[in-house]
Amino acid sequence: MALKKIITVPNPFLRKKAIPIKEITNEIKNLLDDMLETMYNANGIGLAATQIGDERRLIVIDCGQKNDVSIKKEDDEFCPNPIKMINPELIFFNKELTVREEGCLSIPGYYGKVKRPNIVKVSYIDENNVKKVLKADGLLATCIQHEIDHLNGVLFVDYLSKLKKELILKKATKDYNKKNRN
Ligand code: ZN
């Protein structure tokens, strides 16, 4: 396994729409493992292939087994629950919305409150070529929607007010330029 470099704003690759995978190869299985390792290493709970500069429809997620933080006791230990999704597609959105503070490994250090459906169903193919449907609520539902957005070139800041979005993108771009000057 190998760590991949996570790209950040203002990299224009983050705005690309990813393409579906036709065949699951060993290279893709290895890439999914690398993505998980990269995500854990960065203390993230989700990562899309777009974020490592790969334009295929792949995401990895780990929100633990108790995916709803609202019922999670503080002393509960995090139980790893890695999920690898190939060609994920949202097939159901609940009408009820929920607001959660989101961050993103591609916009490090910035957060914003985003309103999204509180329950979703996602269909995907797993690494063994088995078609699956997962119903998710709580943090997992938010995370799945955030990661699938990446595959469509959408970032969480796109849901914020124009002012807030521009401010975050401006600051994150400044951070990027500062880091890459040295
Ligand atoms: Zn993100």
Query: What's phi and psi for 146, nearest 5 deg?
Result: -60, -45
Q: Give the model confidence (pLDDT) of 13-55 as tens digits.
A: 999 999 999 999 999 999 999 999 999 999 999 999 999 999 9
Name the catalytic one among 89, 102, 147, 166.
Answer: 147
Q: Is the dihedral of CA 162, 44, 62, 86 positive or negative?
A: positive
Cβ-contact 18, 55 below 8 angstroms: yes
Active site residue 147: yes
pTM (two decimals)? 0.93
Distance 147 CA to ligand 1 centre (A): 6
Q: What is the mean pLDDT of residues 167-173?
A: 98
Residue with tokens 């690759």: 13
Check residue 41 and give its pLDDT.
97
Check residue 66 and give its pLDDT.
56
